Amino acid sequence: MKTSLDCLPCFVRQTLDAARMVSTDPAFHESFLREILARITEMSLDTAPAVFGRELHRRIRGLSGRGDPYREAKERQNLFALALMPGLREEISAAPDPLILAARLAAAGNVIDLGAPGAISETSVRESIAQAMTRPLVGEENGFREEILSAENILYLADNAGEIVMDRLFIERLGPSRVTVAVRGGPILNDATRADARAAGLAEIVEIIDNGSDAPGTLLEDCSPEFLRRFEAADLVLAKGQGNFETLAGHPKNIFFLFKVKCPVIAAEAGAPVGAHVLIRSAGAQGRLA
């Protein structure tokens, strides 16, 4: 999807958030905000919002001299989610439909997104989990259940740190032997990289690859040839998070998007309200003939 005019106020807020993540100096916050405002004034709206996110965070990493300003935040998010993991695994085992509860909890974990508006707290994660326990995913739970029976080669596109621990529980139910997990190729916001996949213990059960890109989504033109080969070879792609949805929605590949709706622009695109946990099939895949 392209960038909406409604993304622009949010880009300004993200810019301020990023400046404050790397510095406590108000003069730096102001000069960085003015620099990026000038960029936003001129920017094309023809690309996905993730293109802006990539440029913003490249610039803030360059200016701050910090290769991964969100590293500590990501570690805290992983540790918090790891502490929840045993209890959630028990809930999944005891559920009437463990696969679908695991999918719902993986969607709940998508609340841990430092790019979205609003602060993330342990409370908001617990509320999101409670929502997953009681409400079906908006979209294609049944279509997904059927599709998953025949999939042999599943590519799982992870989104954020912390969340990736819930992804692990879902992958345990999908059957790890047919799953490959792809993380971002470089640091961007709190998006999961190889370090987070390791922290979640995923490296012990599945193959981990990265996509070669530091965009907060999957910009295929930005991804490595190896990733593209794996993407091509998969018979089912599971894509977590708004960033993967905004960059891959409409792709002809057989993709299911699993995420929490966190902004009105994505809500309009997904046809579900802000706050909803959704499981949506790629618009391209919906037109497939077998």
Within 58-77, the residues that bind a second copy by CB under 8 A are none
Burial 259-288 (b: 16+ CB within 10 A, else e): bbbbbebbbebbebebebbbbbbbeebeee
Shortest Å distance, C-beta 28 to a second copy: 11
Instruction: With both helix axes pointing from N to C terminus, report the angle between 98-109 and 71-94 in degrees, rounded to the nearest 10.
Output: 160
Judged by CB under 8 A, the stretch of 29-37, 84-92, 98-106, 239-247 that binds a second copy is 29-37
Judged by CB under 8 A, the stretch of 25-33, 102-110, 205-213, 246-254 that binds a second copy is 25-33
- Best CA proximity match to 104, nearest among 84, 128, 120, 82: 128
Judged by CB under 8 A, the stretch of 9-17, 62-70, 121-129, 278-286 that binds a second copy is 9-17
Interface pick for a second copy out of 2, 25, 37, 145 (rule CB under 8 A): 37
Taking the CA atoms of 76, 191, 131 and 99 in sequence, report the sign of the dihedral they define: negative
Closest to a second copy by CB, 23 vs 224, is 23
Judged by CB under 8 A, the stretch of 12-20, 131-139, 242-250, 251-259 that binds a second copy is 12-20
Establish if 29 lies at the interface with a second copy (CB under 8 A): yes
Rounded-to-integer distance, Cα 224 and Cα 283, Å:
24
Shortest Å distance, C-beta 244 to a second copy: 25
Rounded-to-integer distance, Cα 146 and Cα 225, Å:
31
Tokens of 62: 């360059």
Interface pick for a second copy out of 2, 24, 30, 91 (rule CB under 8 A): 30
Tokens of 81: 């989610």
Pairing of strands 138-139, 154-157: unpaired
Interface pick for a second copy out of 21, 40, 95, 138 (rule CB under 8 A): 40
Please give the residue ranges that form the binding site for a second copy (CB under 8 A): 5-6, 8-10, 12-13, 16, 26, 29-30, 33-34, 37-38, 40-42, 45
